[in-house]
Structure 1
Amino acid sequence: MTVKILALVGSLRAGSHNRQLAEAAAKHAPAGVEVEIFEGLGDVPFYNEDIDTDGSAPAAATALRTAAEQADALLLLSPEYNGTMSAVLNNAIDWLSRPFGAGALSGKPTAVIGTAFGQYGGVWAQDEARKSAGVAGASIVEDVKLSIPGSMTRFAELHPAEDAEVVEQVAEVVGKLATNTDA
């Protein structure tokens, strides 16, 4: 049986290093584990309870919820914007937290990793993403962490999927996350 992990990337930038980190996770996932990168977070409108009604939620939000429901676990990849996670990642968590107590995140094993330009690799953003997802009902896998500092220089000419140290770390993260599922 294959463990399905849905990766949500908190950066919409085409050359995002967090996107590349998600690509590395997908490329180097251990045998029996599939990492799917969700496309379309930029199309999900800001959460608004007035538009989140039975049968008429926006298509992009419904697609996000469906993908999360079908996944065995979630891997959130967060850049650090002004000391916290990006609005796009927080918005995804907001949509996945509803309906309250029964959202797609409810009880779902979730890990947060990322890379950022600063010397700590975005740990504040990752801590905030763990907190938000946990409050939203996710089952945060606390021992699965990876913060890669200096993204702008480290990945200037080398994709994370080609960096041996990063490949090893990401494969370990994905493997540990997969062992926390019921799949």
Structure 2
Amino acid sequence: MSAEFKILAISGSLRADSHNTALLRAAQKHQPGGLDIEIYEGLREIPPYDQDLDTPQDRPAAVNDLRRRILEADGVLIATPEFNYSIPGTLKNALDWVSTDWTREEGLPLLRKPVAIAGAAPTNFGTVRAQLALRQVFVWTDSDVVVKPEVHLFRSYERFDEQGNLTDETSISLLQDLLGALKTKIEAAAR
């Protein structure tokens, strides 16, 4: 039996009925096996990035908690909408907090961390540019990003039922393939 890998899943949306958060719940339900997917619910608590406070002893508790969770996770899964052709500010802000180590003592949470990106949007093109922008951020953090498949759930209102369940079989299959690719990266990193 293979090991179970811990995945921290982060939604870039704060909305209660977010299709991106629903996409993460679908990842929990439809994962290919061997993954323990935990949905992070503290994004709203992360304050604006402040380099003056970006030390282990001065960081807000919510930031230290997110950094710890990413360090402890074997991989990260992000589902994001697109705001103004880019990443939602709350998500980018959280990534700014976890991309530093000014003391050079604690390590970089995202360094070589396997990461998978997906997204859902009500339009025909939303999430595409946000995912591209996220890929650029992860170049800087030197994260190990899953390149394919790309998971863009356009017209997302057609892919989820009224209870927020992902019902579109093609979308489920793409999500499973993405999670399988993330698991493969984690297994390779564990060798």
**TM-score in terms of structure 1 length:** 0.92
AA of the residue aligned to 1:113: A
* Secondary structure of 2:122 counterpart: coil
The residue number in structure 1 matching 2:130 is 125
Contact 1:111 1:144 survives alignment (8 Å): no
Task: Report Cα offsets for 1:8-37 as digits up to 9, x if no partner.
Answer: 110000000000001100111111111111
Task: Report Cα offsets for 1:105-133 as digits up to 9, x if no partner.
Answer: 01101121101122124110110011112
Contact 2:80 2:119 survives alignment (8 Å): yes
Q: Once the 2 structures are TM-superposed, how far is the Cα of residue 156 of structure 1 from its aligned partner?
A: 5.9
How many residues get paired?
183
Aligned partners of 2:126 and 2:154: how far apart in 1? 4
* Secondary structure of 1:62 counterpart: helix
For residues 63-142 of structure 1, the aligned pairs below 5 Å read 63-99=65-101, 102-142=107-147
Choose from 149, 152, 174 the match for 1:147: 152
Aligned partners of 1:158 and 1:147: how far apart in 2? 20
| 1:161 equivalent in alignment to 2:171 | no
Contact 2:20 2:119 survives alignment (8 Å): yes
Aligned partners of 1:94 and 1:29: how far apart in 2? 28
Structure 2: gaps (5+ residues): none
Task: Report Cα offsets for 1:40-68 as digits up to 9, x if no partner.
Answer: 01101111111122322111001100110
| 1:33 equivalent in alignment to 2:35 | yes
- Report the more deviating stretch, 130-139 or 13-22: 130-139
AA of the residue aligned to 2:182: L
Superposed CA RMSD in Å reads 1.7
Aligned partners of 1:160 and 1:131: how far apart in 2? 30
AA of the residue aligned to 1:140: V
Q: 1:144 to 1:59 in 2, by over 3 A?
A: farther
* Secondary structure of 2:166 counterpart: helix
Q: Once the 2 structures are TM-superposed, how far is the Cα of residue 143 of structure 1 from its aligned partner?
A: 2.0
Q: Once the 2 structures are TM-superposed, how far is the Cα of residue 151 of structure 1 from its aligned partner?
A: 1.8
Aligned partners of 2:64 and 2:92: how far apart in 1? 16
Aligned partners of 1:121 and 1:175: how far apart in 2? 24
The residue number in structure 2 matching 1:14 is 16
Q: Which runs of 4+ in 1 moved over 6 A?
A: none
Contact 1:81 1:125 survives alignment (8 Å): yes
AA of the residue aligned to 1:24: A
- Report the more deviating stretch, 159-168 or 170-179: 159-168
The residue number in structure 1 matching 2:53 is 51
**TM-score in terms of structure 2 length:** 0.88
Q: Once the 2 structures are TM-superposed, how far is the Cα of residue 174 of structure 1 from its aligned partner?
A: 0.8
Aligned partners of 2:83 and 2:165: how far apart in 1? 20
AA of the residue aligned to 2:170: E
* Secondary structure of 1:110 counterpart: strand
| 1:179 equivalent in alignment to 2:184 | yes
